[in-house]
Amino acid sequence: MEGRPLLLLRRPYRPPSKDDGFVLLIVLVIISLLFPIVIAFNSSSMVSLLQASNFRDSAYALRMAKSGIEGAMALLENDDASYDSENDRWATVLPALSIGEGQLIVRIVDEDRKININLLVKPNGKDVDKRIERHLRNLIKRLGGKPEIVDALIDWMDKDSEITGTDGAEDEYYKDKGYKCKNGPLDTLEELLLVKGFDKELLFDRGLKDFITVQPTDGKVNVNTAPIEVLYDLHEELREGLCEEIVRKREEEPFKRLDEVKNVIGISQALYAKISPLIKVNSS
C-alpha cells in the first residue's frame, strides 16, 4: 500500500520589517532603564536589612554590657574595703554567662594598680611632678619606647607655650595635624595617640595601656595588685629584687595593713618611711 504524500505547510517567508527592529530597540531601552532601578532597589533593601541587623545587635550588646556592669557593682558592694588583692572575688575572671545568642564575660581591674599620668602636671598647670615623670620615663624605657616622649606629654598637658626638653612639642608642631595642645589632663588613654611620639605600637602592642590610667585616683599604688612593671622605679631606692620580693610576699598572703610591707626582706624602716606615702593596700 502506497503511503500518501505528506503535505508540509510553511508560513510564507516575510522579510524583517523596520517595525520589528524598532520593537526590539524599545525592549532593550526598557530593560536598560529598569536594570539599575532593580539593582538600586535590591541594594537599598540589603542596606536596610543590614542596618536593622546592626541596630538589633547593638541593642543586644548594650543590654549585655549593662547586665555586666550591674553584676560587677554588686560584687564591689559586697567587698571588704579594708584591703584589696588579686585573691578577691572581684579580681577573678568570672565564668562566661550565656545570654541568648551571646556570651557575657566580666572582669574588674582596679585603676589604683597603675600610674596616674594625669598627675604628671600639677593642678596649677605649670609645675611637673618629678617623681611621676621619672616613673613614667623608666616605664616607657622598659617597654622599649623612647623616654624622651614624656617631654611632649608634659607640653600637651601644661598651660605654657614653652617647649619641654629635647622632644617637647607645642601648638606649632600640631598645626599641620589640625589641632592644638590640650593644655589640660587627658580624658582617655587613646588621647595619647594625638601626642608626639606616642603610637599604637607602644600603647597597645607593647602594653603601656596596662600600666597607666587617666581615671581620678590619689596617685598611690595598691601594692597588692600593682604589676611588677609599676612597682619598678616607684622609688629610686626600691630595687628590682625588692619589687620581686614584694610580689612573692603578697602571693603568699596579701598585705592587709600598710605596715606589713616592712616585713618584706630587704625593706628597712628608713626605706619604708620613703615608700609608704606612695603605696596603699586597697583600691578605691
- Which tens digits make up the pLDDT trace of 222-236? 999 999 999 999 999
Supply the pLDDT for residue 88: 86
Pairing of strands 102-104, 97-99: antiparallel
Q: Is a pLDDT exceeding 90 seen at residue 245?
A: yes
What does pTM read for this prediction? 0.76
- Across 87-106, average pLDDT: 76
The answer to whether 194 and 188 are in contact (CB under 8 A) is no
- Across 196-210, average pLDDT: 98
Supply the pLDDT for residue 1: 47
Handedness of CA 41, 44, 50, 51 (dihedral sign): negative
CA distance 250 to 116: 22
CATH of domain 111-280: 1.10.40.60
Report percent pLDDT > 70 for the chain.
Answer: 78
Q: Name the residue ranges covered by the structural domains of the chain.
A: 21-69, 111-280
Supply the pLDDT for residue 80: 72
CA distance 135 to 233: 6
The answer to whether 140 and 149 are in contact (CB under 8 A) is yes
CA 83 to chain centre: 28
DSSP assignments along 96-149, one per residue: PEEETTEEE------GGGSEEGGGSB-TTSS-B-HHHHHHHHHHHHHTTS-TTH
- ∠ at Cα 75 (69, 78), nearest 5°? 140
CA distance 112 to 284: 7
Q: Is a pLDDT exceeding 80 seen at residue 176?
A: yes
CA-closest candidate to residue 182, choices 197, 170, 164, 198:
170
Q: Quickly state the pLDDT bin for 78 (edges 50, 70, 90).
A: confident
Supply the pLDDT for residue 61: 72
CA trace torsion 151, 153, 155, 158 (10° rounding): -130
Backbone angles phi, psi at 37, to 5 degrees: -65, -45
Q: Report pLDDT digits (tens) over 259-281.
A: 999 999 999 999 999 999 999 99
Burial (CB count within 10 angstroms: exposed 0-12, middle 13-18, buried 19+), residue 256: middle
Residue 280 CB partners (closer than 8 Å, separation 6+): 112, 220, 221, 222, 223, 258
